[in-house]
Structure 1
Amino acid sequence: MRQFNHKDSPAQFPVSHAILQLPVNILPQPDETTCGPTCLHALYRYWGDDEPLSEVISRTGRLEHGGTFAVFLACDALRKGYMASIYTYNLTVFDPTWFTEPGVDIADRLRSQREHKMDYRLQHATNGYLEFLNLGGRLRLFDLSRYLIRNILLRRMPIITGLSSTFLYRAAREFGPEDEADDVRGLPSGHFVIIGGYDSERRKVLVVDPYQANPYDSKHAYWLSVDRVVNAVLLGIVTHDANLLIIHPKRKPRQEAP
């Protein structure tokens, strides 16, 4: 896979009608809970913005029990001047009617919901989404399908996704402070990966995974059935994931011809 640098534009890379593979390169995540900022760091590098991974990790913060939410990754990108859109499937945070009925102020609905639901993770996510909206982030609710994923990738935009690693890996649920495999006492686990390619003939997507011990490929990139990945994204709702995050630089205004 060719290394991307700041002098290249993603649009310069030729695309086969059958296989699209974006030049996304990712570092291994330093520990069990830094998959999110590691994916964000890879996106910054893709767009030619290279900075130490440690700085990205220090800015995005951690939840009480480790990990982060996609919205906090998005907020970091917005503060750096990028555009950010989240396609959400998390019905624990968002009511579908907020997107389907005209004139709904989602920020106002989030604040009202926060007054009635005291769950720590929901409260934390709500604070993040309020900041996200204030910074100019965009929320979307579309049916999740291979067509949506393909169309985003055709725009040369890699996708960060928060999903269920338990379903993606077909792994045992995890239990305890060390997240040990325990099929009886364990709970599902969430994870961040990047979707960086699409094979229309085989109906597979390229998963760029920062987790060194993933069961598919130690080189951090592997092709999986798009149906498996779509299901893993939707099941991410169990861990407050279930989203697609699109980050890209702001488009420069067109210059009129003299």
Structure 2
Amino acid sequence: MNPAGRDEPAVAPPASLALPVDRLVQPDDVSCGPTSMAMVCRFHGDRLGISEAMASIERNEDGGTLAVHIGRAALLRGYGVRIWTWNLRLFDPSWHELPRAALLAKVRARRRVASRAKARYALGAYARFLAAGGEVAFAELERQLLVDVLARRRPLLVGLSATYLYGTPREDPRTNQPDDVGGEPVGHFVVISGYEDHGRRFAVVDPMADSPLGPHGERVVDATRLLNAVLLGQITYDAVLLEMWPAGETTSS
């Protein structure tokens, strides 16, 4: 891994790639994270059920979860896990080349001085994730990053802004109902299962039952729209790509 956390591919990725990720449907409005984890685990031959995933992942007060909680659950299941983050509320750009121990110290120090309760909560989760052996990586969010990970035959679990990706109204956080005036942006987890035309478009698998992607919850979307949705996920403490690989694989297999 280079200082930015980017593994360079041994060979050039193919122009297009489709990984066989079977879609699962989340059982409620807040279980997109566990359901997405189950989809990725099943791709790797691990028959994790949605209920089991839900039981293994820490939840937020609103019933949802954070990518870092999913990552820690995957670590405990024996996977290697790397989280690519663009959340400047939590991570300072000057930390990008720090080794794990130094990064962990910075995360703990930031937690002690953070003014927002949500930030302290998330930073505590990242401290536990790093201490358990997880990786936090930093790089420019560009389509080649996603292409390189997918070319390692690793579907990406992505935390992003569903409000921006789908162009749907904001929602009332108490009811999850559309409210374009009084509502808030909505974070969401989906799985990226492939790409077309060297990453100009990406295949999105959405666990939401009534997904704007259509009845099958799958669609190829424009790379610019997807990447912007990831960055705007910072508003809801998302803005992450989560890469996981089975025990026995190297980080750059």
Please report the TM-score for the alignment, with normalisation by the length of structure 1.
Answer: 0.88
Contact 2:195 2:202 in 1 (8 A): yes
2:221 aligned with 1:224: yes
Deviation larger for 123-132 or 187-196 = 123-132
Partner in structure 1 of residue 7 of structure 2: none
Distance 1:200 1:35 in 2: 28
Deviations 1:19-75 (A, max 9, x none): 210001121000010000100011111111103210110110310122100001010
Contact 2:36 2:189 in 1 (8 A): yes
Contact 2:16 2:199 in 1 (8 A): no
Partner in structure 1 of residue 118 of structure 2: 121
State the shift of 1:201 in Å.
6.0
Partner in structure 1 of residue 87 of structure 2: 90
Distance 1:124 1:162 in 2: 17
Deviations 1:146-195 (A, max 9, x none): 11111111111100010000001100011141111111111101000011
State the shift of 1:104 in Å.
7.5
Partner in structure 2 of residue 177 of structure 1: 174
2:71 aligned to 71, 74, 80, which one? 74
Structure 2: 5+ residue runs without aligned partners? 1-12
| Amino acid across the alignment from 2:124 | N
Please report the TM-score for the alignment, with normalisation by the length of structure 2.
Answer: 0.89
Secondary structure class of the residue paired with 1:246:
strand
Q: Equivalent residues in 2 for 1:192-207 (5 A)? A: 192-200=189-197, 203-207=200-204
Higher-Rg structure is: 1
| Amino acid across the alignment from 1:244 | L
Contact 1:26 1:38 in 2 (8 A): no
Contact 1:98 1:104 in 2 (8 A): no
Distance 1:101 1:55 in 2: 35
Partner in structure 1 of residue 25 of structure 2: 28
Deviation larger for 43-52 or 68-77 = 43-52
Aligned length: 238
| Amino acid across the alignment from 1:222 | R
Q: Percent sequence identity over matched residues?
A: 39
